Structure 1
Amino acid sequence: MERLSLKDFSYEIPDELVAQEPLADRAASRLLVHNPDGSILHSSIKQLTKLLPRGTRLVVNDTRVVPGRLIGQTPHGGKVELMLLRPVDAEQNLWSALGKPFKKLSVGQTITFAGGCEATVKTRIEEGSQPSLVVMFNLPFAQFWDWMEREGYIPLPPYIARKEAAQAPESRDRERYQTIYAREKGSVAAPTAGLHFSNELWSELVTHGIIPVPVTLHVGGGTFLPVKSDEISTHAMHKESFLVSKESYNELQKAEAEGHPIIAVGTTSLRCLESFARRAKTEGVDTLLGQWQETNLFLYPETKESRIKPWAISGIITNFHQSESSLLMLVSALIGYETIRKIYEEAIAERYRFYSYGDASLLWLPSD
């Protein structure tokens, strides 16, 4: 069988289908439903109470987006932008970050930010698909979080255009680029499938007998990075922290035993579950529950015929992803390469809104 390459995940959409703003009502988004038999239904997020059986578990990523896009300057006045990926050492307040302009950020370089914060470049990491830095901030770790909430910028994806980015306290994206159930601070990108749930819809789902199951995966800035290598197996994912609690694990075990569907809300929830399940095979469940772990799991189909068999889940709620992205590869591995291509062709023809602020899909795993 012929192996898939990067160009196999390429597609084009009209610019006007890229959603630039969230809808006034979070739950007003359209929903493309892929049924287990392969049929497609055009519905809406508000119909989830009718589409999901009572007892369905919704696995949600309760990570909270922090304003991890930082804009400063060098001692000579040059503009520098950092996109924080994840903390490396809390005691020293070391962070992994993407930096622009990378070529001019040498080891020992200092970067000054508003509000009394400075960073020093400690390490340059030039191997891999995306060069990165390790930087140390002069503020204590806890104080740094407070400073970032005041002075940082909401890390919107590059395809969302903002003429003048506002700092987090004034940004109109501060609340809308955040799920209503966000709890654990640590992401620099939103788990966007969860943005569709309003408080009203959430209450309706719970009343209907849908049971939320929280997990945490802190989404790093690497989620914005495209796959660059034509041989996709060589793509290196940035590490991200994740946690599955004992309570959530027991809830999923109960759902499986009772035969209730388990739906992952977003690719990050799915990657969290799959990372946990794969490590549990070698390390044991009890050693992982309630403990922070790291993952760089990259899920993709090797051929047009190959699919992964995920742990526990019956389907996924997810947005429509960028061409040639690792997220598009993930859903192709889950549902099937040819099936996802047909779904995206249909979504484009039906004028669905794409990407982070766009519409959603409910993809049930194929029955075959």
Structure 2
Amino acid sequence: MKVDLFDFELPQDRIALRPVRPRDAARMLVVRGSEAPFEDRGVRDLPKVLDPGDVLVFNDTRVIPAQLEGRRADGEARIGATLHKRIDLRRWQAFLRNAKRVKIGDSLVFGGGVTARAEERHADGSLTLFFEGEEPVEVLLDRAGTMPLPPYIASKRGVDRQDLEDYQTMFAREEGAVAAPTASLHFTQRLVDAIDAAGIGRAMLTLHVGAGTFLPVKADDTDDHQMHAEFGRISQATADQLNEARAKGGKIIAVGTTVLRLLESAVDEDGLIQPFAGDTSIFITPGYRLKAVDGLMTNFHLPKSTLMMLVSALMGRERMLAAYQHAITNEYRFYSYGDSSLLLP
């Protein structure tokens, strides 16, 4: 499909630069089927919209301070690095600003005396960085890195200490993401307690979101776009919980596109979710038949993005464009710090 089919006009003042407070005060647009009226609700209405026996599935990845600023060791070139995917204990795949000024073998010096060596260049333009020294890379990043806010936020106001809290979900446990699973940013303990009281289940998996989520689709056709691989894990207990809930008639609701993509990577042809541990680069576009999920809670996404294509696969392209136009007209807040939608095909 042509990428331009997923384009829409978004006024700049609809891009949220800060989240609402408290988190569960965000609005939520409920989109059902292909013809039902759109419902302007709030995230706090979630326990009323879903049914007892349904299960919300969350991503427990934790965002690391993966944005680094520094120079080539000879001081002649300023370099920015956004870590993308862990390779091993000391190596990360990273996208570099000013990457053409870096040769294999060059040493890069970042803040706090952190140094890394460029080891390998990949087909997508990223490089493998080997972090030198004996301290764990996590310690080095805490010293030298900043939160990797999406460019549409960072370019408008920069990054500050408040983002250390705002850009982390309440479920964050497993370190390794360089972008937040933003659908979960709306949850508070109060909302979770209400969900539990309503008899709605909760399940957890891990997908470490990579920097590829920030990259635009450069191809003109979806067939020519290659997704970046990200590491995910689904335990046997989570797979059993979800399969049992579905067998009893409950709906599986993915909280975020990261959850949906991992579940669809782990489901078999019979619709049963299997344990999973490995990389996924699944690219979901219209025509893909979803087998693992019955709904999706997600924020509003960028025009012509892979995520706009994913929600169009779930609900239909024209339906989603109509929903987004409704959201724009009714002044919903867009993107990572914005409002939410609940998509129920």
| Residues 1:113 and 2:110 aligned together | yes
SS of equivalent residue, structure 2 residue 147? coil
Mapping of 1:82-93 within 5 angstroms? Answer: 82-90=81-89, 93=90
Quick one: distance in 2 between partners of 1:165 and 1:103? 26
Quick one: distance in 2 between partners of 1:267 and 1:164? 26
| Alignment partner, residue 331 of structure 1 | 311
Quick one: distance in 2 between partners of 1:60 and 1:164? 28
Which of these residues, 146, 155, 158, is aligned with residue 153 of structure 1?
A: 146
| Alignment partner, residue 129 of structure 2 | 135
Question: CA-to-partner distance for each residue in 1:149-197, whole Å, 9 max, x for gaps?
Answer: 232100000000454534xxxx211111111011111100000000010
Q: How much does 1:139 deviate?
A: 3.1
| Alignment partner, residue 51 of structure 2 | 53
SS of equivalent residue, structure 1 residue 115? helix
SS of equivalent residue, structure 1 residue 160? helix
| Alignment partner, residue 42 of structure 2 | 44
Q: 1:252–1:312: 8 Å Cα contact kept in structure 2?
A: no
| Alignment partner, residue 299 of structure 1 | 284
Quick one: distance in 1 between partners of 2:224 and 2:34? 33
Q: 1:177–1:195: 8 Å Cα contact kept in structure 2?
A: yes
Mapping of 1:201-350 within 5 angstroms? Answer: 201-277=191-267, 280=268, 289=275, 292-301=277-286, 306=287, 308-350=288-330
One-letter identity of the residue aligned with 1:28: A
Which of these residues, 168, 179, 190, is aligned with residue 169 of structure 2?
A: 179
Q: How much does 1:136 deviate?
A: 0.6
Q: How much does 1:124 deviate?
A: 1.5
Q: 1:316–1:364: 8 Å Cα contact kept in structure 2?
A: yes
SS of equivalent residue, structure 2 residue 136? helix
Q: 1:27–1:201: 8 Å Cα contact kept in structure 2?
A: yes
One-letter identity of the residue aligned with 1:14: P
SS of equivalent residue, structure 1 residue 89? coil
Quick one: distance in 2 between partners of 1:336 and 1:164? 35
Q: 2:114–2:144: 8 Å Cα contact kept in structure 1?
A: no
SS of equivalent residue, structure 1 residue 98? strand
SS of equivalent residue, structure 2 residue 153? coil
SS of equivalent residue, structure 2 residue 291? coil
Q: TM (normalized to structure 2)?
A: 0.95
Q: 2:205–2:235: 8 Å Cα contact kept in structure 1?
A: yes
| Cα distance change of structure 1 residues 135 and 210 upon mapping to structure 2, 3 Å threshold | same
One-letter identity of the residue aligned with 1:157: P
Quick one: distance in 1 between partners of 2:269 and 2:92? 30
| Residues 1:20 and 2:30 aligned together | no
SS of equivalent residue, structure 1 residue 134? strand
Indicate the larger mover: 109-118 or 191-200: 109-118
SS of equivalent residue, structure 2 residue 152? coil
Which of these residues, 326, 332, 356, is aligned with residue 336 of structure 2?
A: 356
Q: How much does 1:292 deviate?
A: 2.3
| Alignment partner, residue 95 of structure 2 | 98
Q: Gapped runs of 5+ residues in structure 1? A: none
One-letter identity of the residue aligned with 1:88: I
| Alignment partner, residue 30 of structure 1 | 27
One-letter identity of the residue aligned with 1:318: T
Name the % identity: 40
Quick one: distance in 1 between partners of 2:152 and 2:222? 22
Q: How much does 1:262 deviate?
A: 1.1
Quick one: distance in 2 between partners of 1:339 and 1:267? 18
One-letter identity of the residue aligned with 1:87: R
Residues matched between the structures, number: 342
Quick one: distance in 1 between partners of 2:255 and 2:137? 31
Mapping of 1:193-208 within 5 angstroms? Answer: 193-208=183-198
RMSD after superposition: 1.8
| Alignment partner, residue 79 of structure 1 | 78
